Structures are given as structure tokens and as C-alpha cells.
A and B are shown apart, each in its own frame.
Chain A
Amino acid sequence: MAHANSELHELGLAELAERLRQRKVSATEATQHFLARADAHAGLGVYLARDEEVSLAQARAADDRLAKGTGGTLEGVPLAHKDIFVTADFPSTAGSRMLRGYCSPFDATVVAKLAQQGAVTLGKLNCDEFAMGSANENSAIAAVGHGAAQALPNPWNAAHVPGGSSGGSAVAVAARLLPAATGTDTGGSIRQPAAFCGITGIKPSYGRASRYGMIAFASSLDQAGPMARSAQDCALMLGAMCGPDPDRDSTSLDVPNEDYSRMLEAPLGGLRIGVPGEFFGEGLADDVRSAVDAALAQYEKLGARLVPISLPRTELSIPVYYIIAPAEASSNLSRFDGVKFGHRAHDYRDLADMYRKTRAEGFGDEVKRRIMIGTYVLSHGYYDAYYLQAQKIRRMLADDFQQAFKLCDVIAGPVAPTVAWKIGEKSDDPVANYLADIFTLPASLAGLPAMSIPAGFGAGGLPVGLQLIGNYLQEAQLLGVAHQFQLATDFHDRKPPGF
């Protein structure tokens, strides 16, 4: 069995799961292999927590089930979780000083569901603090093997950002440290790092995956999703992650879980791909435009028909999102007060002082900024003009999509206006970061399923992602459309040099 190991990290998720099932490799061997890779590439800084003993114990249990033939769909497959998901076996920080060393007494539902299918957890992955960020420059926790928190490098070009907030997950998958990882997407935090790192990621419809155990950022926007190296892999993992959670999450949709792989092989003949004019305006960088145009041409070759559509309020999605998300976050983060868990300041005069200092010390700049914005737009006299107005425009945005879906089956366009920017380039300009979210925010606000697939390369050899957006609950169709592209191209198979 040992001779197969050097290729283990080249295998996709589905392939690896199959090898494990056929007992061509053991779960223990697979886990050891990826633990070794994590050590070898500790410099990347993707892991915020690891525990070899815990992982190997899980692997041994998986081997037992594999031997008996009672394994799940991902039995013995090594994975890791974005540190937004709480885990009983590893500390959960959300990338924040506020939760350094925090031990959750329970697992997130998504974590438990993946464990139920036999996945082995190798650790917790780096991310922007409380999922707020587009570059993974906002993590405040030092990665395993690092003395201090630092920005994460893009595996394709270490001077560039990997994207965020699921930067650690994207880097881990792109660098072949894992076949797949969990991420979360509130305004683009799965799609954008997937695009920047040349991997595949999907945010399902809002309500498909349980939010129980996901450290909350923006309640009406947060969704869990898989990040892997192909649509086929994402489909497999999505099935394990999703499903109604009526006992614990009141926003979880009461719709049955599905086999998201069932439409992978469906041919594209007659598929109408909506192309929103607003996604191809002046702000779109030339290299991204070329790659996306080429991808759309490829779709035409595969039998799809491009249909021009309009999403007229695309630009409005920026202020709408950056009012709603911070508003919800400002409230969700009030529980971090130094009383029951998490950081507490050491020096304070009284209770009021304890609150102020604890929160000032525990939260990073971007988090504070968003709490301030959120508090303001909910405060007396501003609620109607800002928060309520934003929620109304949000409905208009959602209605725009429904109008568009009368003319097309899926919507395609870029994920971001540019490829990954340089580390530090936008870290002093929060608004510049917000503006770069323009293409991912609309689907987030409408709660529609959306994914990013590798579609080529741009300046500096950095990957370009193609965004596909489907109608509610149409993940299977979306993944099928993605898969057909991946059958005809090999962008998703390319590996960053040195990994």
C-alpha cells in the first residue's frame, strides 16, 4: 500500500474516498500522509490548531468501519474545518484574540455530519477574524508553527493574498495539504478565495446547511460550504454537509437533502447561461475579462446558449450588504463581553471598564469597524434610513434575480474584478476591500446557491475564477454545469508550483 502514498495528495476527494473504500490505502496511512504534509508546509500558516493524537484516533476508528464495510461516504478522508466551526476536539478561535484557546463543549452540526460520514479532522484552518475580510489579512491568531499572526500567502504567488475570509481552507486545498476543507460564505468568502487560489468552492442556498455551531457573523447571510478541487468533489462533500436541522437551527430550510452528484453527467445542450451586463463593466480587469470570456465561449462549444441579462441593482449590493451584515454582526458579537467565555481584560476599574477594555483588546480593527457601522445603522433615528432601507432593496435584488431566471437557467460571470492583489496593498483601505466584493454580494443577499470554478490565469500567473449562480435549491444543476466545464478543461487540475 505504501507506494501509493506519494500521490495521495494528488487525488481528489472522491478518488481518495474510493481508494479508502477499496482498502487500497488505510485511513491511518492517509491521515499520517496529510499530517506530514502539514508539517512540511507549516510555513504557509494554514492551520490554527492540530492534534495528531486526536486525528489518528479518528483514523483508527475509520479503519475499523472500513474493514467492516460500514463506512460513510467520506470514511477515512482527512479534512479540516475553517476555524469558524466550533469543534469539541480542537480549540475554536474564529481567527480572533477574543477566543484564543476557547474550547467548545459541542461540535457544529456540519462538523458532526461530516464526522458521521467518516471524515477525519486534521485541525482548524486559518481565516479572517469572525469571517470578516477578503484577504485573510485579518487573522489575529498565530498559525501552528508560527510565533505571531501573519498574512497568508497565495500558493500561486506568495507575495499575493489568497483571498478571504476562508483563506486557510483555500490555501490548504490548493497546496494539496488536504483534498477538501469546509469554508463559510457570507459575502463571497468561499467563492473569492476559491477563485484566487484556483480551486472549486460552492455556497449552497441559504438554509441548506445548518448554521448551528458556526460562529455567527451575519445571521441572514452566513452559509457553510465545501472547498475542493472539482465540482464532483464539492458535490460529494455538500451532500455530507447539508440537510435540515430543525432541532437546532430555525433558519434551516425544511427541504430534504439531495444527492448533489445526480446531474453531474447531464449534457449542456440547450442550457441558457445568463450573462449580466453589470458584471462586465469598466471595473473589470482585462485579464479577468479575457479568462471569463474564454470560459463562456467554452460553454457555447459545449452546447450552452449565452443570454444577455440585467441585474440592475448590482452596484447597490455593496452598501446594502455592508449595512445588513455589520448590523447583524454588531448584535451577534455582543455576547463577547468577558463574562462567560473568551478573553477578559486584566486591568479594569469596574464592570463598564471591563466591557470596554475586553472588547477593545479582543477585537481587531476590521471587526471593530463593522461593529461600529452596524451599531450606527441600527441606532435610534437611523434604523429606517439605513437598515430597513437596505432590507427592502435586498428584496428588490432578490426579485431581480427571479426576473433574470425567467430568461436563463444559470447565471455566469466573474467572481472578482481582479486577480489576487498584493499582500498589504488594500489592508489600509477597508472601502477598497468592500468594493471588490461587488460580484459575489448579490447572490449572498438573495441567498442563492453560487460557486466558483477555475477558469484560467491572469496577471502574475494568478488564477481567475468563473462564478456560476443558480436559482434556489438548484445546487445539483449548478454542480452539473460546473462539472461539464471541468470535463472539457483542465484549469482545476493545475497545481501551484512547489506543492
Chain B
Amino acid sequence: MPLSPSDIARIAHLARLELAPEESGRMLKQINAFFDTVQKMRAVDTRGIEPLSHPYAAIGEVVLRLREDVVSESDHRVANQRSAPAVEGGLFLVPKVIE
């Protein structure tokens, strides 16, 4: 099922990507070309099959490891903010957030 230009616009919005008009057009063609290869996949009968999220789960159980509730990170604000685009008083600055 091919994508339409409004699909591209909706996805670009969800992904917060600004696409120039010719970029949108190109993207539409390329993504539709990709989805042509996907048709066979959709037709596969997967009833009763569990999705595989962690590869090793194919042969063994993979469970979440839990760590003890201990604080071991101290204040590294300076190092952590070294690459910040805009900082003031330790706060990351952004254009005003309107609720």
C-alpha cells in the first residue's frame, strides 16, 4: 500500500523533520520503492509466533537484570553540559515552552 504525500507530511511531523518540497517528493518515491520490497513480508503467516526482541531469547530465557538501589553518580554538571547549545545558571535554555 503506497504512501501518499500527506503520509509523508504526517510522518515528518511526528519525527520533527522539516522537509523541503523537493525533498518530500524524493523521500516519497524512495520510501515507496522500499515498501514494494515489503509486500511479501506482510503475507507471511505468523500466527502463533512470538516476536523476538532479544536475539538470545531464541534459544534461552533473557530476563531483566536488577541493580541495588544505591546512589553512585555525583554532580558532573560541568562535564555533562560541555556540549550544550545554550545553558544559563545550570539550566538548559530552549525557546519558551508553552503548556
- A residues within 8 A CB of B11? 372, 375-376, 379
A-B contact count (CB 8 A): 170
- B residues within 8 A CB of A498? none
Task: Say whether A351 contacts B55, CB under 8 Å.
Answer: no
* Known contacts A350-B96, A359-B16, A371-B17; A338 and B85 CB within 8 A of each other: yes
Task: Say whether A375 contacts B14, CB under 8 Å.
Answer: yes
- A residues within 8 A CB of B84? 340-341
Task: Say whether B17 contacts A395, CB under 8 Å.
Answer: no
**Roughly how many angstroms separate A316 CA and B12 CA in the complex, as a whole number?**
27
B50 to chain A, nearest CB (A): 6
**Roughly how many angstroms separate A254 CA and B63 CA in the complex, as a whole number?**
10
**Roughly how many angstroms separate A354 CA and B65 CA in the complex, as a whole number?**
38
Tell me the chain A residues, 317-353 only, with Cβ under 8 Å from chain B: 318-320, 322-323, 330, 334, 337-344, 348, 350-353
The binding surface of chain B is classed by DSSP as loop
A135 at interface, CB cutoff 8 A: no
Task: Say whether A472 contacts B38, CB under 8 Å.
Answer: no
B6 at interface, CB cutoff 8 A: no
B71 at interface, CB cutoff 8 A: no
- A residues within 8 A CB of B34? 322, 373, 430-431, 434
Task: Say whether A246 contacts B65, CB under 8 Å.
Answer: yes
In-complex Cβ contact of A103 among B12, B49, B82, B85 (8 A): B82
* Known contacts A205-B56, A357-B18, A369-B31; A351 and B95 CB within 8 A of each other: yes
**Roughly how many angstroms separate A360 CA and B55 CA in the complex, as a whole number?**
33
The binding surface of chain A is classed by DSSP as helix
Task: Say whether A393 contacts B55, CB under 8 Å.
Answer: no
Tell me the chain B residues, 71-99 only, with Cβ under 8 Å from chain A: 76, 79-86, 92, 94-98
Task: Say whether A319 contacts B38, CB under 8 Å.
Answer: yes
A108 at interface, CB cutoff 8 A: no
Task: Say whether A385 contacts B56, CB under 8 Å.
Answer: no
**Roughly how many angstroms separate A447 CA and B27 CA in the complex, as a whole number?**
31
- B residues within 8 A CB of A389? 41-42, 44, 46
- A residues within 8 A CB of B55? 205-207, 220, 398, 445-448
- A residues within 8 A CB of B41? 316, 319-320, 323, 389-390, 393
A355 at interface, CB cutoff 8 A: yes
Closest to A99 in B: B83
- A residues within 8 A CB of B8? 372
Closest to B46 in A: A392
Q: How many residues of A contact B (CB 8 A)?
A: 74
**Roughly how many angstroms separate A205 CA and B17 CA in the complex, as a whole number?**
35
B49 to chain A, nearest CB (A): 4
**Roughly how many angstroms separate A471 CA and B67 CA in the complex, as a whole number?**
30
- B residues within 8 A CB of A318? 37
Q: Mark A71-114, 1 if CB is under 8 A from B, else 0.
A: 00000000000000000000000000000011101000000000
Task: Say whether A394 contacts B33, CB under 8 Å.
Answer: no
**Roughly how many angstroms separate A246 CA and B65 CA in the complex, as a whole number?**
7
Closest to B3 in A: A376
Task: Say whether A393 contacts B46, CB under 8 Å.
Answer: yes
- A residues within 8 A CB of B58? 395, 398-399, 402, 446-447
Task: Say whether B65 contacts A372, CB under 8 Å.
Answer: no
Task: Say whether A431 contacts B56, CB under 8 Å.
Answer: no
* Known contacts A359-B15, A391-B51; A340 and B44 CB within 8 A of each other: no
Closest to A367 in B: B17
**Roughly how many angstroms separate A20 CA and B17 CA in the complex, as a whole number?**
51
Task: Say whether A341 contacts B56, CB under 8 Å.
Answer: no
Task: Say whether A103 contacts B17, CB under 8 Å.
Answer: no
- B residues within 8 A CB of A368? 17, 19, 27
User: Can you list the 9 inter-chain pairs with the closest CB atoms, starting with the nearest?
Assistant: A447-B55, A391-B51, A398-B58, A356-B18, A395-B52, A344-B85, A392-B46, A105-B79, A319-B41
13 A-B contact pairs sorted by A residue (CB < 8 Å): A205-B55, A207-B56, A316-B40, A338-B85, A351-B96, A356-B18, A360-B17, A369-B31, A379-B10, A389-B46, A392-B52, A398-B58, A472-B56
A positions within 8 Å CB-CB of B? 101-103, 105, 205-207, 220, 246-247, 250-251, 253-254, 315-316, 318-320, 322-323, 330, 334, 337-344, 348, 350-357, 359-360, 363, 368-369, 371-373, 375-376, 379, 385-386, 388-396, 398-399, 402, 430-431, 434-435, 445-448, 472
B positions within 8 Å CB-CB of A? 3, 7-8, 10-12, 14-19, 27, 30-31, 33-34, 37-38, 40-42, 44, 46, 49-56, 58-59, 64-65, 67, 76, 79-86, 92, 94-98
